[in-house]
Structure 1
Amino acid sequence: MARVVVVGAGLGGLAAAARLAAGGHTVTVLEQAPQVGGKLGWSSRDGHGFDTGPSLVTLPQVLEDLFAATGDPLDQVLPLQRLDPAVAYRFADGTTTSVPGRREEIADRLDADLGPGSGAQWTALLTRAEAMWRATEQPFLRSPLAGAATLAKLARQTADLRTIAPGRTLRGMGRQYLTDPRLRMLLDRYATYSGSDPRRAPAALLTVPWVEQAFGSWYVPGGLRRLPEAVAHRATERGAVIRTSAPVAEVLTAGGRASGVRLADGEVVPADVVVCNADAAALYGRLLPPSAPVRGARASLRRVTPSSSGLVLLLALRGRTPGLAHHTVLFPHDYDAEFDALFGRRGPKRPVADPTVYVSAPDDPATRPDDDSESWFVLVNAPRHEPGSGVDWTAPGLADAEADRVLAVLADRGLDVRDRVRWRVVRTPADLERETGSVGGSIYGTSSNGARAAFLRPANASPLPGLFLVGGSAHPGGGLPLVTLSAQIVAGLVGPA
């Protein structure tokens, strides 16, 4: 039996705590915020409620595995509601389409909305994506990685290597299979799921739309905040102790291994194993002492591109919007200009002038005070908070000016709600950094920019014995299913008591 300290009560940390406690370890979870959830946040006021992080569940089998391994099955704990359509899309030329909730209906929908042949092209692309998934699911997503050595091992399996196409980009794959620029936009958007640029992100990200469309998109009635609450309850059922408002200031070392943590108030919590659900850049840059034997991990982080962040508007609205989907994406005229702004190409990093706008508006009574109201979570991609070298999101007036811009863009694209706003809350990358500890407000830690970046994220087993990483900034990446898989990998590395 090991004494395990988990730093951070995001989904990855909580899932690791539940698995390790069920395995017989003594587990303490330390969370800086007053509540669990991490980026799976919730905000409420005057009867309006908002999920402030992820707004859908994909690959629900991963959650089913977690609950089955630690106690009662998922369907006895938390209901999931299938979304249909999963997403509605609006393009700058005025055309619209949507992704039906069931895979077999997608091709016909695309043919009807974007023209004959569109469905066949998308289907051919997803057939390639399915082959990529089969080649990568076990060796990459469900197993610990050993950096470039993992790719070298795969290179000996030439058929799988050709399928994954490690030297190709997501954009390049779209050009091979898709002729309609609107279909290419749909594909490019999946790079943003890891805060990346489709022109540099690896072709392996094709697996993201395949998973979403093969296994469906799901919502948790009452808000996705119920998911980390349920996992936290499961962890405590198995004996874990969860302490909120307990920020960790330092990961301690002794005898060449992790030995516990020091809290901001000076309290020391000893441990045999430390599992860090904090951002990997924060762990290696701030939480570990300079003398820790993690020089290689620190150097690797300096070589990668951090993921982008986001600017969020929480809109409490009067009235209802007819025909509004659960998720709506409104594309700009020039998608490349957005990625140029986010990553500092053709000029410095800057707020996006004509951004893609993502609206999450669940038709859920738990999110609104009455049936003549709506609560919208509105997100646009944004560069990180980097005062001095990039965008300073605390600059006076910047957040409100950008929020006004987003509302104007919505109006230009047919969703003018400016006269319906009861109140709004603006959340910037600086707010995300302060609230979650994610450096610069990077949503996913490191991006997948670069041919091998998706395969070379910070490893789950750190170079320091006894220290492990979970969460979106570590392998296998961001998003609810991958974060949950990171916890499964770490539990396997630690082993049973």
Structure 2
Amino acid sequence: MLTGVDPVQKAEALLGPRPHAVVIGAGLGGLASAMRLGAKGYRVTVLDRLDSPGGRGSAITQGGHRFDLGPTIVTVPQLFEDLWAACGKRFEEAVDLRALDPYYEIRWPDGSNFTVRQDEAAMLAEVERLSPDDVKGYIVFLRDSERRYHVGFEDLGRRPMHRVGDLLKALPKFVLLRADRSIATHAAGCVKDARLRMALSFHPLFIGGNPFSVTSIYALVSHLEKAFGVHYAMGGVEAIAKAMADVITDQGGLIRQKSEVDEIRITDGRARGVTLTSGEMIDADITVSNADAGHTYDRLLRNHKRRRWTAPRLKRTRWSMGLFVWYFGTKGTRDKWQDVGHHTILNGPRYQGLLQDIFQKGKLSEDMSLYIHRPTVTDPSAAPEGDDTFYALSPVPHLGHDNPVDWARMGEVYRQKVQAVLERDVLPGLGAHLTEQLVFTPETFRDRYLSPHGAGFSIEPRILQSAYFRPHNVSEEAEGLFLVGAGTHPGAGLPGVIGSAEVLDQLVPHAKMAGQE
């Protein structure tokens, strides 16, 4: 008799064990993939080298300050709702998501500013205040961003793009929308004010792309913000990662932290499992890599002859910029700096020139632009009572350029420059209130996340490095090997990595237990 036995165990006792899926990396793409595989009936093991789930979406707590290490906003909550629903659960019961209003404020050196909200009337008023002559052009841009959303996100972004036929079907739409133009060029064709052009074109930086070279399809982000809002998860994105881990364990899956994969084992052209750095071998029926696509092919498949993603091919690949992130806590400032909201974008004196230094010249500039995150505006739990938690993020060159930045030497020098800019422009008197602090440089991203060249967002989403031209979700290098996460289709950012698991779901069949037809 099998009374009192878990239904999954009962089924396995009657029909045999479930097929085993190994997921490399407990980043958000890996966790989402594990959830979907568990829902399909697989026995799932997630292997991750860090000490907690979430990858870039994890957090570090110091002195009562929770530093959200990576993404801070949720723009398409429906993706999470669909993910939880696929597992027979409700996302809203697991995560407390708060809509933000305003979304963020953009500031320029001349003292002008631009506040972004969901309400269209409020946005039209902002545009008219900043540049009255550009109201009509802004409306054109907004309507066009909706068309690009339907093509780039709902169509191409939510289905596999690994066959040539997928590319051929997409080409007419790309031609019609002039996807060959950069988003910066597209914005310049709609509005005249340089500040407004920046405000409408900077979004690709959040997924590692240069607005002056990334396809104009990414104008779709403006529609995403307007249609679905910008949200914050109470407890940070770490709270989402922990809730995802709970679903996986509820399904009977296993998450092993501090377990680093050294190699994907290939036999007779098929992925058979992995070998850990400890020497332990784990067999699998399918293997899913949430490690960076470059690391997957260059390191984890180093002993396997590759057809497409060879070492020379990866060397020619254009990578996203690096990130310098200063996480810091302040004492007794909850009622100080009242004009600084949850998200602030602080522009330096240059836009295109700074981006050329970062993406093309590989030069650490004297000037900078900063993204400032102050979660305590929405979530007081991010800091001790009365205190604040911040991070200031500066895009910088990755480590793959000639003469890369020596961050061991320059890290503190640059941090002091960041602090000086913050004290001058947005947080006067900051130094007197500093308590806990932590710095991440591109070297941290290289060593902590095994990101090639310390890139912040894997492969840059240029037009010939997107969709079909990106590493495919189903690997052409070995059967039974799949890729998810920022370096594969559809790309970086929370919608992209969660979407990669949705694409995986379309590629992997339901599990069949031994004895099933």
Q: State the match for 2:423 in structure 1.
A: 411
Q: State the match for 1:286 in structure 2.
A: 299
| TM superposition shift of 1:147 | 6.1
Give secondary structure in 2 for the equivalent of 1:58.
coil
Supply the distance in 1 between the matched residues of 2:222 and 2:169 (Cα, whole angstroms): 26
Is the 1:131–1:163 Cα contact (8 Å) retained in structure 2?
no
Find the partner of 1:61 among 78, 95, 106: 78
Find the partner of 1:376 among 368, 381, 390: 390
Give secondary structure in 2 for the equivalent of 1:378.
strand
Which residue type is aligned with residue 257 of structure 1? R
Q: State the match for 2:464 in structure 1.
A: 452
Supply the distance in 2 between the matched residues of 1:198 and 1:115 (Cα, whole angstroms): 21
Supply the distance in 2 between the matched residues of 1:294 and 1:263 (Cα, whole angstroms): 24
Supply the distance in 1 between the matched residues of 2:441 and 2:163 (Cα, whole angstroms): 33
Q: State the match for 1:483 in structure 2.
A: 497
Q: State the match for 2:437 in structure 1.
A: 424
Give secondary structure in 2 for the equivalent of 1:395.
helix
Q: State the match for 1:37 in structure 2.
A: 54
Find the partner of 2:103 among 80, 86, 94: 86
Residue by residue, what CA displacement relative to the aligned partner does 1:98-137 show, whole Å, maximum 9, x if unpaired?
A: 101434432122223x032444322210211111111233
Is the 1:393–1:428 Cα contact (8 Å) retained in structure 2?
no
Is the 2:35–2:247 Cα contact (8 Å) retained in structure 1?
yes
| TM superposition shift of 1:300 | 4.4
Supply the distance in 1 between the matched residues of 2:213 and 2:62 (Cα, whole angstroms): 40
Q: State the match for 2:287 in structure 1.
A: 274
Alignment of 1:278-427 (within 5 A): 278-296=291-309, 300-318=313-331, 319=333, 320-345=336-361, 349-362=362-375, 363=377, 364-371=379-386, 373-386=387-400, 389-396=402-409, 398-416=410-428, 417-427=430-440
Is the 1:97–1:109 Cα contact (8 Å) retained in structure 2?
yes
CA RMSD across the alignment? 1.7
Which residue type is aligned with residue 472 of structure 2? A
More displaced, 163-172 or 234-243? 163-172
Q: State the match for 2:12 in structure 1.
A: none
Give secondary structure in 2 for the equivalent of 1:350.
coil
Q: State the match for 1:131 in structure 2.
A: 147
Q: State the match for 1:465 in structure 2.
A: 479
Is the 1:135–1:163 Cα contact (8 Å) retained in structure 2?
no
Q: 1:9 to 1:95 in 2, by over 3 A?
A: same
Which residue type is aligned with residue 212 of structure 2? R
Is the 2:161–2:167 Cα contact (8 Å) retained in structure 1?
no
Q: 1:268 to 1:370 in 2, by over 3 A?
A: same
Give secondary structure in 2 for the equivalent of 1:55.
coil
Q: State the match for 1:219 in structure 2.
A: 232
Q: State the match for 2:7 in structure 1.
A: none
Q: Which has the larger radius of gyration?
A: 2
Supply the distance in 2 between the matched residues of 1:225 and 1:322 (Cα, whole angstroms): 26
Supply the distance in 1 between the matched residues of 2:444 and 2:139 (Cα, whole angstroms): 40
| TM superposition shift of 1:483 | 0.5
Supply the distance in 1 between the matched residues of 2:120 and 2:289 (Cα, whole angstroms): 37
Q: TM-score, normalised by structure 2?
A: 0.90
Is the 2:114–2:126 Cα contact (8 Å) retained in structure 1?
yes
Supply the distance in 1 between the matched residues of 2:313 and 2:138 (Cα, whole angstroms): 36
* Alignment size in residue pairs: 486
Give secondary structure in 2 for the equivalent of 1:452.
helix
| TM superposition shift of 1:297 | 5.8
Which residue type is aligned with residue 318 of structure 2? T
Alignment of 1:187-198 (within 5 A): 187-198=200-211
Find the partner of 1:439 among 428, 436, 452: 452
Which residue type is aligned with residue 211 of structure 1? L
Is the 1:194–1:444 Cα contact (8 Å) retained in structure 2?
yes
Which residue type is aligned with residue 413 of structure 1? D
| TM superposition shift of 1:353 | 1.9
Residue by residue, what CA displacement relative to the aligned partner does 1:169-203 show, whole Å, maximum 9, x if unpaired?
A: 11110111011100111123112122121111111
The answer to whether residue 43 in structure 2 is matched with residue 26 in structure 1 is yes
Q: 1:179 to 1:394 in 2, by over 3 A?
A: closer
Give secondary structure in 1 for the equivalent of 2:278.
coil
| TM superposition shift of 1:352 | 2.9
Q: State the match for 2:188 in structure 1.
A: 175
Give secondary structure in 2 for the equivalent of 1:222.
coil
Which residue type is aligned with residue 432 of structure 1? F
Supply the distance in 2 between the matched residues of 1:292 and 1:38 (Cα, whole angstroms): 29
Find the partner of 2:218 among 205, 216, 220: 205
Supply the distance in 1 between the matched residues of 2:431 and 2:479 (Cα, whole angstroms): 54
| TM superposition shift of 1:493 | 0.7
More displaced, 2-11 or 331-340? 331-340
Supply the distance in 1 between the matched residues of 2:353 and 2:83 (Cα, whole angstroms): 40
Supply the distance in 1 between the matched residues of 2:354 and 2:367 (Cα, whole angstroms): 7
Q: State the match for 2:248 in structure 1.
A: 235
Q: 1:32 to 1:111 in 2, by over 3 A?
A: same
| TM superposition shift of 1:289 | 3.0
| TM superposition shift of 1:296 | 4.4
Find the partner of 2:162 among 146, 150, 160: 146
Residue by residue, what CA displacement relative to the aligned partner does 1:392-416 show, whole Å, maximum 9, x if unpaired?
A: 44432x1000011111122332433
Q: State the match for 1:16 in structure 2.
A: 33
Is the 1:7–1:13 Cα contact (8 Å) retained in structure 2?
yes
Residue by residue, what CA displacement relative to the aligned partner does 1:81-114 show, whole Å, maximum 9, x if unpaired?
A: 00100001111111012101434432122223x0
Supply the distance in 2 between the matched residues of 1:169 and 1:276 (Cα, whole angstroms): 31
Supply the distance in 2 between the matched residues of 1:40 and 1:291 (Cα, whole angstroms): 31
| TM superposition shift of 1:47 | 1.3
More displaced, 205-214 or 401-410? 205-214
Give secondary structure in 2 for the equivalent of 1:50.
strand
Residue by residue, what CA displacement relative to the aligned partner does 1:186-244 show, whole Å, maximum 9, x if unpaired?
A: 12311212212111111111112221222110001121210111111111111211100
Give secondary structure in 2 for the equivalent of 1:225.
helix
Is the 2:485–2:492 Cα contact (8 Å) retained in structure 1?
yes
